[in-house]
Chain A
């Protein structure tokens, strides 16, 4: 008898438009999210070939990568950015695409905006010209980043050609300890698999520790799937998912919603489904994580020390360690809690949602009660993921907690995660960042990034170094 199907295989079958011998399979795309940086050349090509956007209502645009976090004026982001932002406005108007531009109540980081508006639904295929599209997999949607040629293909046809990926199950057994965040879980997973451990795979996260996560926490986990090479990350939709989606602005309503839930309940991997690879972690072993190197896989627990090249048997990993220690200006054996930072960034599509800000504010409050403020040698900024997140945070008084403690409270955008605007680190800066990439130069030429959770970033701002909050 044939084996059951994995969730990925079900999503694949449900979207397979054509699978013809000798051609790459053609998949239907339900939702296409776009932003200013990776879309202009795709629009230009449509224009060149005189092709329309086939289903403009299935594409939603926002502005996020380039924009200023100090002003909603398009010109505030500099000439190059303003050019791209104006091009997006013009393109959306010409091709009939809904745009949440500067000052719009729905504007935000594309992977924060989509879920909070109910544009992200289980059982769909969602693509975007951004590798962190994997975020939407938290809903049981097959979601992945695409290049600009593919953006054009989706515009013109509402489909994409994709070769089938292999499947990997990552089970996190049991429950995490107190104070361990979704960011720690996913960094621990990447630490175990290495930075390319899931290349060629679609990953499904499961197990008690994953099921226990809120939707926002699940988004944090799926967001970083690309950081160990996975094409996409998936979590089976359950009651937590349905409760989150229900009533969202663009989510289906009434009977259609009931039918959707019935369909979405069929998506989870069958009990007898076979995965090409299975990885298991014990949740109780996961501690707060800090990256020490220049790939997200170069990560260690807060109570650890910076590793030595001698700790790696593989010659390439050894060499990568040498290069990373050199770039990061770190010595093997240094306690992680002895590493000092001069910049803190809380934000990005990984960690800029309301629960992230609440968690960070909680840590800030507990330190403020002990007499701490953001230390004088540290610049710390908080960039909410969207206008909705910003408004919610302000209605809860979180902005006040942050600003009273010495943080800067900014406007939503991708900001210092990739530093396309003026939120960049200077050469030699060392940053505790809640973003997703610690690549060389990612946050600014010659700058050094340590990836951490919002709680860990907040504590670093108030002490000037990494802190083991559970010690």
Chain B
């Protein structure tokens, strides 16, 4: 996993609540055995007017000229709800997003983002609203500083938090499986005490 330190990028505002992972990456694109090839299908049903994905929908935020190259997705509450498919964060990451900012995330989606190094940032409803308003006024670029836990732009600076280990894992690009495999003795000691039925 790549290390995450600071990131400055253009914001794409997705002004919809309860965006589910079926919308982020519909089921017909889950039939892959590889980890790549999902970005092109991100938000497929909203992004394209046709099922084949040939005709971009000009109304959809990610198709608008002013948001080309966006790397920060600004979203509304309960982002990433529904299916546990990690293909959703994979698709967002492959499309070019490094950061998702929302007032709340679904639990599984949030964990999946952390595990692949895509930074999910929770801000208050009020802060999110300010960012949507700023974005509506013209191109919004935000600076994300993970070590200092800040989101800033000009005179605004909002702070966010992650759990200690999640913060460390993102900053250091920790191989979480390798990390746990270093603790096999503790796991084996636990197993030795388990009841027979377990």
Contacts and interface: CB of A to CB of B under 8 A. Distances in A.
Interface in A301-334: 316, 319-320, 323
Interface range on chain B (Cβ under 8 Å from partner)? 35 or more
Contact of A149 (B83, B115, B166, B195): B115
A153 interface: yes
A173 B65 CA distance: 55
A420 B112 contact: no
B54 to A, nearest CB: 14
Contact of A18 (B105, B115, B116, B186): B186
Interface stretch (A80-88, A108-116, A402-410, A460-468): A80-88
B197 A153 contact: no
Nearest to B166: A24
A382 B30 CA distance: 24
Contacts of B180: 26, 153, 156-157, 159, 161
B196 interface: yes
Interface residues of A, number: 75
Contacts of B45: 440-441, 445-446
A37 to B, nearest CB: 5
A18 B85 CA distance: 27
Interface stretch (B6-14, B17-25, B56-64, B149-157): B17-25
A72 to B, nearest CB: 19
A231 B83 CA distance: 12
Given A81-B31, A124-B198, A129-B84, A445 B51 contact: yes
B136 interface: no
Contact of B197 (A121, A145, A158, A319): A121
A320 B85 contact: no
Interface in A6-49: 17-18, 22-24, 26, 28, 30, 37-38, 40-41, 44-45, 49
Given A295-B18, A420-B28, 12 more contacts: A17-B187, A26-B187, A28-B187, A30-B198, A66-B31, A130-B83, A149-B86, A153-B176, A153-B177, A263-B195, A263-B197, A419-B28
Interface of A: 17-18, 22-24, 26, 28, 30, 37-38, 40-41, 44-45, 49, 51, 65-66, 78, 80-81, 83-84, 87, 121, 123-124, 129-131, 133, 144-150, 152-153, 156-159, 161, 163, 165, 195-196, 199-200, 226, 229, 231, 252, 256-257, 259-260, 263, 295, 316, 319-320, 323, 418-420, 437, 439-442, 445-446
12 contacts: A26-B180, A49-B177, A148-B86, A148-B87, A152-B177, A156-B180, A199-B104, A200-B107, A259-B195, A316-B17, A420-B27, A445-B26
